Amino acid sequence: MKTTHVLYKTVTVNQVNIFYREAGSPDAPTILLLHGFPSSSHMYRDLINDLADKYHVIAPDYPGFGGSSIPPLTTFDYTFDNLARIMEQFIDTLGLKKFTWYLQDYGGPVGFRIITKRPDLVKALVVQNANVYEDGLGPDVQRMGSLQGDALIAAIVEKLSLESIKGEHLSGAAQPERVSPDSYQLAHFYMNRPGVAEVQIALFLDYSTNFPKYPEWQQYLRTQQPPVLVVWGKNDQIFAWPGAVAYQRDVPDAAVHLLDGSHFVLEEYHEEVAALIRDFLKKL
């Protein structure tokens, strides 16, 4: 079916139901959108519509997020290694070959685990506040890194509150009135379903496994020199803007655009980002 309408689908991957949004002609170049915390594919709702006339756009939800299954910790290993494994199987189940990756927040460590293993899947990378450099570790990440034990668990649970999720969406926004309340209210709803807090705690506790992989991911960039477009909310307190500029250390031709926005910069600038993606991909 060739359509620019967004289709809402579910596919079973290794006994887990993965919800995803799909739009555009399957014959068009594919863009895979990997979301971050505490969001879901919903964060890409506007960008999907912006791009679907020229591209085949797919945005899945990870297990434990959005519309996907929430298997209990007793049957599913909530680690970044395993999320990457499921997303790789999702890619193969849909028969995707070589495509553009859009990575945001958690999408960085999930995506780069797959990309470094299977570089043949990469046509280009679009990076939005997805950090792979120590330069980009902002004050929020550093604060969480300084906590241990009960204090860390309490901080993780606090990040699931509506106040915290709303703050992550609005902090650094140039025009907060352009940030849809639906974005943080829906994220809060998803994060506060039964069993999800335990999922998010497990993933936060596993997050430290990403830092030792930074050199490996940087080596991939240096060796493979994939086309890279960086679009970054420069006021992000989670992943600071030096992490955006750092991509040019390993890929000198990377195009870096710092936008006057937050960690969720698409809330304000989805049209601008879509235009940058179109111009970027047109040159490949």
- Please state, in angstroms and rounded to a whole number, the distance separating the CA atoms of residues 112 and 114: 5
What the block records as the tokens of 116 is 């470094």
pLDDT level of residue 1 (50, 70, 90 thresholds)? very low
pLDDT of res. 4: 75
* 159 belongs to a structural domain: yes
Residue 238 lies in a domain: yes
In a domain, 1, yes or no: no
In contact, 195 and 66? CB cutoff 8 Å: no
The answer to whether the beta carbons of residues 125 and 231 sit under 8 Å apart is: no
- Confidence band, pLDDT 50/70/90 cuts, at residue 80: very high
Is the predicted pLDDT of residue 3 greater than 70, yes or no? no
Q: Where are the beta strands (DSSP E) in the chain?
A: 7-13, 16-23, 30-34, 56-60, 99-104, 122-128, 228-233, 255-259
Question: 169: which 2 tokens?
Answer: 């969406």
Q: Which sequence positions are flagged as catalytic?
A: 263
With pLDDT > 70 as the criterion, what percentage of the chain qualifies? 99
CATH no. for residue 271? 3.40.50.1820
* DSSP-derived secondary structure for 43-82: GGHHHHHHHTTTSEEEEEPPTTSTTS----TTTS--SHHH
- What is the domain count for the chain? 1
Q: What is the mean pLDDT of residues 213-217?
A: 98
**pLDDT tens readout for residues 247-282:** 999 999 999 999 999 999 999 999 999 999 999 999
Look at residue 2 and tell me if it is in a domain: no
pLDDT mean over 60-80: 98
> What is the extent of the structural domain holding 263?
7-282
pLDDT digits (tens, 9 = 90+) for 35-54: 999 999 999 999 999 999 99
The percentage of the chain sitting over the pLDDT mark of 90, rounded to a whole number, equals 99
Position 95 confidence tier, pLDDT thresholds 50, 70, 90: very high
| pLDDT of residue 2 exceeding 60 | no
Task: Please check whether residue 158 lies inside any domain of the structure.
Answer: yes
pLDDT 10s digits, 125-157: 999 999 999 999 999 999 999 999 999 999 999
pTM equals 0.97
